[in-house]
Amino acid sequence: MTIFTVANTKGGVGKSTTSVQLSTGIALRGLRPWLADGDKKQTSALLSLTNRINAGLPGIPATELSDGPTLRAQVKLQAPQYDHTIIDVGARDSGALRAALTVTDVLVVPFAPRAYDLWAYEQMIELVKEIQEERDIKVVPFLNMADPHDGPGSDNATAIADIEAYGFTVAPVRLGNRKAIDRASAVGMNVMEYKPADEKARLEVSNLVEHLLAITQE
Ligand SMILES: Nc1ncnc2c1ncn2[C@@H]1O[C@H](COP(=O)(O)OP(=O)(O)O)[C@@H](O)[C@H]1O
Ligand SMILES: [Mg+2]
């Protein structure tokens, strides 16, 4: 049983998208996920997963828990009933983030080239380091909405170098900016379920899910 927290103090970097792809990816592997949604926004992972139920697909349990102390208590109580728990923390809510970090095993940090600000990272990293003094949390930053242009000096490379300068290793998996990922996530589908099939998106998402599940085996 692993508790994943998907967080980044910056909004719009793909936290809810990642939460939907991870929870649906876990379900497609025959395991039982539970999504704890700490974000009340209209574009939340919870709403996407509700769209999924309404579309007649196999449902994935999800609960809105946006208040820090409630999130912490409910996750402690309910997570043992599932194989994996995914907490989608809203941006800029340090109370919910702190609460999530006190119960989480793996912190997944999507970040996008250009769409980041180092000041926001510094606050989050300070919080992570403070909590790591008491609990061992694996921190897994990965590049989301990666540019097709790669290589030294590219926006991808600059973003990765900025994160690694804080002492974290960026995951060897990434997601491109793909319509299939956007559209599938909006309706609570994994890209594996979404038609028309986008093979590149499928491979990227499946590599991300496998990478995160492999961490739970370590
Ligand atoms: N890999 C991706 N490819 C295409 N669109 C993406 C991708 N990741 C996120 N998006 C889109 O970017 C927007 C912000 O993503 P979202 O997951 O809601 O961010 P957050 O939860 O961090 O605020 C959404 O419209 C989402 O569909
Ligand atoms: Mg979100």
Higher pLDDT, 25 or 120: 25
Q: Region 35-46: what's the mean pLDDT?
A: 85
Q: How confident is the model at residue 10 (pLDDT cuts 50, 70, 90)?
A: confident
Residues 143-195 have pLDDT tens digits of 999 999 999 999 999 999 999 998 999 999 999 999 999 999 999 999 999 99
* pLDDT at residue number 94: 77
Whether residue 21 has its Cβ less than 6 Å from ligand 1: no
**What's the token pair of residue 62?**
């999800």
What is the maximum span of the chain, computed from C-alpha positions, in angstroms? 47
* pLDDT at residue number 77: 98
Q: Region 97-124: what's the mean pLDDT?
A: 87
The ligand whose atoms approach the alpha carbon of 110 most closely is: 1
Q: Which residues of 135-159 are buried (b: 16+ CB within 10 A; e: fewer)?
A: eebbbbbbbbbbbeeeeeeebbbeb
Residue closest by Cα to atom 3 of ligand 1:
177
Whether residue 145 has its Cβ less than 6 Å from ligand 1: yes
Q: Region 22-43: what's the mean pLDDT?
A: 92
CB neighbour class for 93 (10 Å; exposed up to 12, middle 13-18, buried from 19): buried
Mutate to test the pocket of ligand 1, among 9, 13, 17, 144 (most ligand atoms within 8 A of CB): 17
Whether residue 16 has its Cβ less than 6 Å from ligand 1: yes
Q: What is the pTM of this model?
A: 0.96
Q: Please determine, for residue 42, whether its predicted confidence score (pLDDT) is greater than 70.
A: no
DSSP state letter for 125: H
Distance 152 CA to ligand 1 centre (A): 25
* pLDDT at residue number 116: 67
Q: CA-CA distance, 114 to 121, in Å (whole number)?
A: 13
* pLDDT at residue number 204: 98
Whether residue 185 has its Cβ less than 6 Å from ligand 1: yes
Domains, the chain: 2-217 (3.40.50.300)
**What's the token pair of residue 49?**
């997963």
| Amino acid residing at 68 | G
Q: Please determine, for residue 115, whether its predicted confidence score (pLDDT) is greater than 70.
A: no
